[in-house]
Structure 1
Amino acid sequence: DLKFIKEAAILHDIGIFLTNAPQINCYGDKPYICHGYLGRELLEKEGLPKYALVCERHVGVGITIENIKKNNLPLPKRDMTPQSIEEKIICLADKFFSKKDLISEKTIEEIKAEAVQYGPENTQRVDGLLRALDLL
């Protein structure tokens, strides 16, 4: 659903303004990692549940409940991995550009190098997204 992907891609980071990320002019009180579930809450209140899930499930390469518990992340204890093809497309596409450098596109190797910092299973998750999208 290309229309949905375009709209969801615009909305997926809506929760960022509620986080404490002054380097991108966000002065909220929550850690940056929370922007996904905060966006979900905002969009659910607006009656947009499908878009809300994209917000929650695009962070990192998806965050499992095991990862949340193991790393004591300040997130709701639920699976936050992309499930639908649209969620997977947006999650992966989001990794190619940084808010610090909006012009330079990252390589798959750079994406994996960043992902592995948060656990070795994350490189496998990147490969899973690439396979799901017939890119590997």
Structure 2
Amino acid sequence: MNPYTLLEKHFGANRTGCEMVYRHSCMVADKALAIAQATGDLALDLPFIEEAALLHDIGVALVHAPKLNCFGNAPYICHGILGREILEAEGLPRHALVCERHIGVGLSVEDIAAQRLPLPSREMAPQLREERIVTLADLFFSKRPGELEREKSLDQVRADLGKFGIHKVAIFEGWLEELLPPQVHE
């Protein structure tokens, strides 16, 4: 399975959108692999982490995000569930769950209801360590043009998450404790 080939397939003629998502996803994959290696956990599935990171935003191909050159019908918040559908159809159920669960630090049924999000009412938070690693890595990178290669600081990530509540920052802090050596997140 070649992640770039899958992205090309689903972005179709939208080469610009595909390239932006791929560049972002490469940054996320590199960060995710660095986090995974820093854990010292030899049981982690590194090839899966890399593939999932490269495919986590495949659903962007179907959303309306003009800044990413994407002109689908779905709102951007739906890119996770759309990615899940795409990757399940491709026979990649584990990767599909990463797509669905990578939004922020995950979405709860309460988040979906309180924000009136156009999403199914179900828990969409990373469950497996590999899923948390990809999701954590994604928090450090934006897909905004001009910012694709810029890694956010810990404080910038905290500020971004804080817009959705202190409980989201607490989840992030818990992941830092779980996945990174103390000197990295202090």
Q: Which has the higher helix share?
A: 2
Q: Hey, what's the Cα distance between the residues in 1 that align with 2:73 and 2:100?
A: 18
**Matched residue, 1:106:** 152
Q: How many residues align?
A: 136
Which has the higher relative contact order, 1 or 2, with Cα contacts under 8 A spaced 6 or more apart? 2
Work out the percentage of aligned pairs sharing the same amino acid. 53
Equivalent of residue 61 in structure 1, options 105, 130, 133: 105
For 1:93-132, list aligned pairs within 5 A.
93-100=137-144, 101-132=147-178
Q: Hey, what's the Cα distance between the residues in 2 that align with 1:79 and 1:135?
A: 29
* TM-score (norm: length of structure 2): 0.70
Task: Tell me the secondary structure at the aligned position of residue 90 of structure 1.
Answer: helix
- Stretch of structure 1 that moved more, 116-125 or 20-29: 116-125
Gaps of 5+ in 2: 1-44
Task: Tell me the secondary structure at the aligned position of residue 159 of structure 2.
Answer: helix
Across the aligned residues of Structure 1 and Structure 2, the Cα RMSD in angstroms comes to 1.1
Q: Hey, what's the Cα distance between the residues in 2 that align with 1:135 and 1:75?
A: 35
| Deviation sequence 1:70-105 (CA, Å, 0-9, x none) | 111111111111111110000010111111111211
Q: Hey, what's the Cα distance between the residues in 1 that align with 2:75 and 2:176?
A: 28
**Matched residue, 1:80:** 124
Gaps of 5+ in 1: none
* TM-score (norm: length of structure 1): 0.95
Structure with larger Rg: 2
**Structure 1 residue 63: Cα displacement:** 0.7
**Matched residue, 2:8:** none
**Matched residue, 1:28:** 72
